[in-house]
Amino acid sequence: MTSENLRNVELEDDVWNEADYPPPYSATTVKNEEDREIGFRREYLFSVEGALKCIEIVLSLIAFVAVMAGGWSGSGFVAWTTISAFITTTIIFFIVGFNIYTRFPFFWVLYELIYCILYALKYFISAIIAGVGASLMPSIVAVCAFCAAGFFVYLLDAMLIYRKVKAIREEERRKREAGEHVANRRSDNSFCIIF
């Protein structure tokens, strides 16, 4: 066909109905409104994740008090690590405990994973710093012990969160293979992470 013939082709005069032709990338997940309600969830407090956050808060506070009681030369980084871990973990506990994270437009689980890995590393360095100065006074030995415990608790929390991220990724892969659309979704279980 020439371009002249293409101009003379008559088109059907049907009315466009968007219901017959859905957009190619539409949100396919439907979250229950109960999951998005803001309010304290008691089941989080008694879950493994909630218990780990409570242990992290208590360890950070005790370690900070022990650092302040000692007042030794290497206490600056250790004090900063413990108090920042206390404040940030408390904020995260309330954000997750009150279900506020469901309103965030980003992948919350990945943020928690990065946070736990970062603080596990900080506590590891703090335990080494406190271990070097442990011969000076007994409070530094306590700081070293609490920093080592904090390192292991944050590392355990990071491993559990990593398992959750892998489970979310596996679920998305399974849905993709089953033919369900997973494109263009932003919820706490729909972001594709490659690990």
- Domain presence at residue 82: yes
Tell me how crowded residue 113 is: count the other CB atoms within 10 A of its CB: 21
The predicted pLDDT at position 189 comes to: 47
Helix, strand and coil content of the chain, in percent to the nearest 5, comes to 65, 0, 35
Indicate the number of domains in the chain. 1
CB distance 92 to 53 below 8 Å = yes
C-alpha dist (Å) from residue 158 to 83, 109, 120, 143, 155: 19, 10, 8, 22, 5
Which H helix or E strand runs over 118? helix 108-132
- Domain presence at residue 34: no
Question: Model confidence over 13-61: pLDDT tens digits?
Answer: 555 555 555 555 444 444 554 456 777 788 888 899 999 999 999 999 9
The predicted pLDDT at position 184 comes to: 46
Q: Which residue has the higher pLDDT, 28 or 131?
A: 131
Which H helix or E strand runs over 63? helix 48-70
Whole-prediction pTM:
0.69
- Domain presence at residue 108: yes
- Domain presence at residue 85: yes
- Domain presence at residue 13: no
- Domain presence at residue 14: no
Rounded mean pLDDT, 115-141: 88
Q: How far apart are CA 88 and CA 79, in angstroms?
A: 14
Residue 150 has which token pair? 């904090």
- Domain presence at residue 145: yes
What residue numbers bound the domain in which 60 lies? 39-178
- Domain presence at residue 154: yes
